[in-house]
A and B are shown apart, each in its own frame.
Chain A
Amino acid sequence: MATVAPPPSKRQKREEIERTTVQQDVTPLLAMDLGSFKANFIDGDGNQMADVIEINFADASEKNVSALLNTMMGRDREEFTPYRFRIHIPGKDVIVDQYPTDLLGLLKKHGVNNPFETTITLSAEPQAVFKVQAVSRMAHKISGHGQPILCCQFSPATSSRLATGSGDNTARIWNVDTGTPEKTLSGHTGWVMGVNWRPDGQQLATCSMDKTVRIWDPTTGKSISEFKGHAKWVLGLAWEPYHLWRDGTPRLVSCSKDGTARIWVVNTGRVEHVLSGHKSSVTCVRWGGTGQIYTGSQDRTVRVWDSVKGTLVQSFTAHGHWINYIALSSDFALRTGYLDHTKEIPETEEAKRAKAKERFEKAVRINGKVAERFVSASDDFTMYLWDPTNNGNKPVARLLGHQNKVNQCSFSPDGTMIASAGWDNHTKLWNARDGKFLTTLRGHVGPVFQCAWSADSRLLVTGSRDCTLKVWNVLKGALAKDLPGHEDEVYAVDWAPRDGAKVASGGKDKAVRTWMN
């Protein structure tokens, strides 16, 4: 027998009667003629992208406007790049970062009563075409290290290889897909403070408290060479960017507590230059894409050196306390060389160098000029944004706001934002162009030690002393996912740069954890 629905209850019958007798309010259903406005699109440098066009308010959602801009620029449906818009209120100096759902209401709120008469400028920022999903669960917990893990980095070539360095004097390479250890790189006699993959993923460099730097072959797990020369602990490493390699050999710069940085020629193992001049321990070193080396030290200065000649170019003194970290605007491009999110790898050496150079220049081009900027984070609770090519010795902006030491800062891969992690439990986001403060990401209950961007710049993961990682949606400025699971402080986080579906973290509880969607 077929199932019969129960007869309507008294309440349902009453509601039915009401619906048929009372006049319904149909105003929301009618498409109100709200009018239209004239939109002028400019890109990040302030140049006009397309002609001024009239858009209806009813159709002016961010997605529609982005599609409209793409068609006006003459792109095919497959080549559409999603855009984010910021609205410049005409007449006032206000720029609204978040595209509102009710554009007319926003304009009226700012006192623009006749939007049809004025031209509204929308600055468009292209977003990455691919979208990275927020990681939501722990995929693997791989134990193997005998001591806390101090640093970790994904290979730029493939996100299935991860290298970690630990206090048990070894570095290990893990296969992230299967969640198993692959190679153990033993040889150091002190804690491994830093691991760094070569930009093409063929070699791995580690620096240690035993004052040496070692180069390893990740496929065999054997040590290729050992660089001795520093007088005290080696704290950080940076590889030469792929497009700058000379004589067919890469170079490596390492910074140490003895106040010097040394440039090593990897194939021969010789010291090419010793960059001395800092009066105190050098905490961070970076190799920029224009051939300049940036070092930050505990003597409160950042120095820029010429990597070919080994001489000091510039010295920036503005901080009041130790420099903890330096981040370059081209960090992401230089880390991955010619490897981007597509699967194509150029055939010849020349093509690889050209592609690496092109990626670097795309990352740092502002107003058509190649200008590599960097941010220095310090113990004096502030950061400075520097632009050596345009602004010389003076900082572009001072990023104030943190209430305790700033531990790390990082540019987003598309170069639009800077994230900073501090000891005051906050992560702050800043506009990378002018250093203006955007938003604070609150949520951690312990000092935030490290942060890592996803490859499409939409998500940020932070690791903290409170044993959790948190994934933040940067556009909304809100927490996307909370990742508890570590049993002790989280010392290192990394997001896979190429096919960004994985996050890896290591900390005091000695087990590497990988997180996936």
Chain B
Amino acid sequence: MPQNEYIERHRKLHGKRLDHEERTRKKAAREGHKQSENAQNLRGLRAKLYAKQRHSQKIQMRKTIKQHEERNVKGAPAESEPSNPIPSYLLDRANPTSAKALSSQIKSKRAEKAARFSVPIPKVKGISEEELFKVVKTGKKVHKKGWKRVVTKPTFVGPDFTRRPVKYERFIRPMGLRYKKANVTHPTLNVTVQLPILGVKKNPSNPLYTQLGVLSKGTIIEVNVSDLGMVTASGKIAWGRYAQITNNPENDGCLNAVLLV
């Protein structure tokens, strides 16, 4: 797989091979034969992988064929009996169901006494304290005490962070696990930008984790969006917005979040 544009560069400088078109045409013509040869002759792990790939390809093909078929048929839409009994003046109208769905959606939202925010990831598996903290023993050989804890998950500490005096520090947040930036996706514009984190607003597992600044999946963080150039309704430039973390940063090594608009 090309890591840079040297292939395109060569093409621009020297042009394509003289028999390029013929070769691509012939290669495309051989596709069918090659696929059947693979399907029949591959063995073992390769066969399984190939079969899986081919299966998903076929599903996509069937979908596009069906779409094409529907496009060609120009009949009247099927007059099916509506599912719920409605009087004659409501027949042939689509409005009632969608309006009802909206109102029942609103009502069910109100009935939910839980979180007032509607976030993309509403429920997260919590992190237990045994999982988050590793006990670090301090003290001399006989009088070892284990009141210090090391945070094993990514954290955010803030730009003006200085450690407490080491003797009194209860929670250790290792430098290697500190993150300053997040890859934030704007949900409607579909752009992902790297934005500096301003702070951790809420960690859904535990308020203690919020204070420590632990970054896990589902945590609400505040990011600096001045790069995106968003303006509020009153005309002021927005520079801080909430985002919710969507991946497990301790596994991936990067922090992905989606902006809450």
Contact = CB atoms under 8 A, between A and B. Distances in A.
B and A form one assembly: yes
Interface of A: 147-148, 150-151, 166-168, 190-191, 193-194, 209, 232-233, 235-236, 257, 281, 283, 298, 324-325, 407-408, 449, 465, 491-492
Contact of B85 (A148, A235, A236, A465): A148
Contacts of A283: 88-89
Contacts of B84: 148, 167
B93 to A, nearest CB: 9
B87 interface: yes
A298 B91 CA distance: 12
Contacts of B92: 281, 298
Interface of B: 79, 81, 84-89, 91-92, 96
Contacts of B85: 147-148, 150, 166-168, 191
Contacts of A465: 96
Given A167-B84, A465-B96, 15 more contacts: A150-B86, A150-B87, A151-B87, A167-B86, A168-B85, A232-B79, A233-B91, A236-B88, A257-B91, A283-B88, A298-B92, A407-B89, A449-B87, A449-B89, A492-B87
Nearest to A151: B87
The 5 nearest A-B residue pairs measured at CB: A167-B85, A150-B87, A235-B88, A491-B87, A148-B85
A259 B111 CA distance: 46
Contacts of B96: 465
29 contacts: A147-B85, A148-B85, A148-B86, A150-B85, A150-B86, A150-B87, A150-B88, A151-B87, A166-B85, A167-B85, A193-B87, A193-B88, A194-B88, A209-B81, A232-B79, A233-B91, A235-B88, A235-B91, A236-B88, A281-B92, A283-B88, A283-B89, A298-B92, A324-B89, A408-B89, A449-B89, A465-B96, A491-B86, A492-B87
B206 to A, nearest CB: 43
B86 A325 contact: no
Contacts of A209: 81
Contacts of B86: 148, 150, 167, 491
Contacts of A324: 89
Contacts of B89: 283, 324-325, 407-408, 449
Contacts of A167: 84-86
Contacts of B88: 150, 193-194, 235-236, 283
A235 B79 CA distance: 15
A257 B79 CA distance: 11
Nearest to A166: B85
A151 B86 CA distance: 10
Nearest to A167: B85
A386 B79 CA distance: 33
Nearest to A507: B87
